Chain A
């Protein structure tokens, strides 16, 4: 298994969303298929619902985004796994659900760097691992 630092130093490939190798959830027993289905449906709904807004504030105020937060802590590993494959503005949801904020101040605004900070946090807290 590669080290966390090796995984996190991988560059983004232009035109591709995934910035990390395939990851899996460690505690799959806490994630039910029904929850996963609901989560992924809400993710797609959010991507359509947010439209062309220039504001992260408006993005995270979308009902579908709030519904993802309302799924509670079981959504945390799902969000982290989603971030690995398609980095997006999940930081507000993760802060709200975890109470943590591992993003370094110099990374604010940098989607890839903020995603790496959260993935590293996910690895350190054993919510995700590489395979």
Chain B
């Protein structure tokens, strides 16, 4: 990935997790779909009950319809899944990242690859602008929350150990 596009992205805070694929974008990836490009424009898929207007409000509405509510921070919370929405200073939607069940974050970079990254902030200050909205919803499956929490803390510990070596 070109350094200028994502100035905060380093070889230690992310890794590529897929091949390039033009068929889906970050919004599709945020809702766990890999077959369509989700965007409220002529050539994109967009749910019929959400306004097909290419504005930040439409993206927020999409996630609100899927049960997400505003939240204060990007910290891992057992039993919840989070998304971070990126926009320009002028409020143009640019990107959305999704938190994985182990606390890491995942992003589809346009027509390029999926990456797994430490925090939403590593994609800021470049092509995607800044995180402007953080949303969360409760994960319906009981029992998964505890497993996710254990996995999250194990992953953090592993990264800390590897980072020191």
Contacts and interface: CB of A to CB of B under 8 A. Distances in A.
Interface of A: 15, 50-57, 59, 87-89, 91-92, 95, 103, 108-112, 114
Contacts of A103: 43
Q: Is chain A's interface secondary structure helix, strand, loop, or mixed overall?
A: loop
Contacts of B95: 54
A64 to B, nearest CB: 15
Contact of B127 (A51, A59, A88): A51
Contacts of B22: 87-89, 111
Contacts, number: 73
Given A50-B110, A51-B110, A52-B110, A114 B43 contact: yes
A109 B19 CA distance: 20
Contacts of A56: 37, 39, 41, 43-44
Contacts of A88: 22
11 contacts: A50-B111, A52-B112, A54-B27, A55-B39, A56-B44, A88-B22, A92-B42, A108-B44, A108-B46, A109-B37, A114-B43
How many residues of B sit at the interface, in one of the four size bands? 20 to 34
B43 A52 contact: no
A80 to B, nearest CB: 16
Q: Which of A52, A57, A59, A103 has the most CB of B within 10 A?
A: A52
A126 to B, nearest CB: 25
B56 to A, nearest CB: 12
B109 A109 contact: no
